[in-house]
């Protein structure tokens, strides 16, 4: 067993501790840039969108209900989903702004 370890390292040189952690650090950096950073960016955009909601905006809820905002409160929104049909929805339940979507017939 000792011969195997000695054969892996040239004589007179010790293993650099930084080189043994380099693959782990590389994995962490790649994970951050491809997973964590985009998720944080998406959350900021969603929060900004929900804060900018205003009366008259057309939106879609997480449940797939299309509606027009009638009233905006601190944590809830009143949506008109049909003529004279209004529902109260939590702001976190709004996912999209449909004002720029093509109109369906």
Contact call for residues 28 and 38 (beta carbons, < 8 A) = no
How far is residue 73 CA from its own chain's centroid? 24
pLDDT at position 105 is 47
Residue 104 pLDDT class (50, 70, 90 cuts):
low
Domain formed by 54-97, architecture? Roll (2.30)
Q: Give Cα separations from 95 to 15, 31, 53, 92 (angstroms).
A: 52, 26, 11, 8
Mean pLDDT of 64-84: 93
pTM of the model: 0.61
CA distance 66 to 81: 6
Condensed to tens digits (0 to 9), the pLDDT of residues 10-52 reads 555 566 777 788 888 899 989 888 899 999 999 999 899 988 8
């Amino acid at each position: 067993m000792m011969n195997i370890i000695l054969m892996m390292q040239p004589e007179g040189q010790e293993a650099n501790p930084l080189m043994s952690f380099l693959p782990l650090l590389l994995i962490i950096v790649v994970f951050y840039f491809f997973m964590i950073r985009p998720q944080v960016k998406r959350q900021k955009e969603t929060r900004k969108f929900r804060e900018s909601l205003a009366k008259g905006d057309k939106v879609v809820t997480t449940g797939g209900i299309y509606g027009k905002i009638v009233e905006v409160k601190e944590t809830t929104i009143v949506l008109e989903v049909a003529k004279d049909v209004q529902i109260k929805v939590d702001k976190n339940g709004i996912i999209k702004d449909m004002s720029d979507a093509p109109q369906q017939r």
